[in-house]
Structure 1
Amino acid sequence: MTRLAAAMALALGLSACAVPEWQQPGTPLADVERDMGRPTLTEPLQGGGQRLLYSRQPAGQQVYHMDFDAGQRLVRVRQVLTLANFQALHSGVDTRETVRRMFGPPALVERVARFDGDIWTYRILDNGEPRQAHVHIDPAGVVRRVMFTDERMRDLEPPR
């Protein structure tokens, strides 16, 4: 009896979870917001549409763009925290604002002695491996460099 109750509670809990990838094209914006909650950012799109950005940073490794047409219907869902999207940033061209619009707020903002500016760090998955993308932004707000490092995860075994 206890197992049945636990299984039913789990099923009910999972059905209440809204997952961006499960949202269907054509779904009204109001339904998506009701299911997903408040977006991290909202940006206007050309043609009268809008993009809702849902970020799982700092703990997660996903940022979703949910694009809606002018009729407020879902057109597409895209996970944008990818190595290719960070590699597409142009040093000296992209800015703090373009990075924010694409990826949302970073998981971490740091400074180091060898760079005059902020380093925005995002947690990503690269072929299933946890990595970090570090976007170096100078004091004028211009992207100067993007670097990648492996994310150090906690050891599963205690030190000896």
Structure 2
Amino acid sequence: MKRWIPATIAFLCATLTACATMFPPDVAVGESESSVIAKRGEPTHRYQDGNQRLLEYATGPWGQKTWMARIGPDGKVVSFEQVLTSQKFGTLQVGTATKDDVLRTVGAPSETSYLNLSDLEVWTYPYKESNVWNSLMHIHFDKSGVVRKLMNGPDPRFDPDLRVPMGMPRR
């Protein structure tokens, strides 16, 4: 009769660990950088932006959120926000923004590619457009690393009509 107790405890521990990973604690303005790292773990990338540092917390190639903690010169959080949004992408100026500007604004891409005919490098970011639609933002750079085009559209990974069940394409 008591055999189910260890299994139940193991199940509850696994569930709580999964919840903690899926829903990490919030970060508040004014917290220390070490507190952010204690709560969120090591950042996926770090960037310098003038006298401030940025800690990026990307959710992976299938993730649609990247959190950016801006740390002031005093080592305290100035802001903590989810940056994969239409508003943030909209701040990137075509013809002016560089790869470094993009990294400091929306973080590292989930995928990169190259378009031979147009001679452009493309960084791709999955995100929830208007917090509703599964979308991809493609940022195109010329050889000098300047943004030449931003293009978004639906994320085909979430389109049921494009899924390939058991290796057979739908007709």
Same fold (TM over 0.5): yes
Any unmatched runs of 5+ in structure 1? none
* Rg larger for: 2
The answer as to whether partners of 2:89 and 2:106 remain within 8 angstroms in 1 is no
For CA contacts below 8 A with separation 6 or more, give which structure has more relative contact order: 1
Number of residue pairs matched? Answer: 158
For 1:147, give the aligned amino acid. Answer: M
What CA deviation, in whole Å up to 9, does each residue of 1:14-51 have, x standing for no partner? 575385661233322112213322212223345x4422
Report the TM-score, using the length of structure 2 for normalisation.
0.77
Change in 2 beyond 3 A, CA 1:40/1:141 = same
Unaligned runs of 5+ in 2: none
Aligned runs of 1:78-93 on 2, under 5 Å? 78-93=81-96
**RMSD of aligned Cα (Å):** 2.6
Q: 1:128-147 to 2 correspondence within 5 Å?
A: 128-147=132-151
Pairs within 5 Å for 1:33-112: 33-46=37-50, 48-112=51-115
Q: Compute the TM-score of the two structures, normalised by the length of structure 1.
A: 0.82
Matches within 5 A, 1:1-12: 1-2=4-5, 4-5=8-9, 6-11=11-16
- Contact in 1 for aligned 2:88/2:106 (Cα 8 Å): no
Aligned mate of 1:29, from 29, 33, 38: 33
1:26/1:75 contact within 8 Å kept = yes
Please identify runs of 4+ aligned residues in structure 1 that moved more than 6 A: none
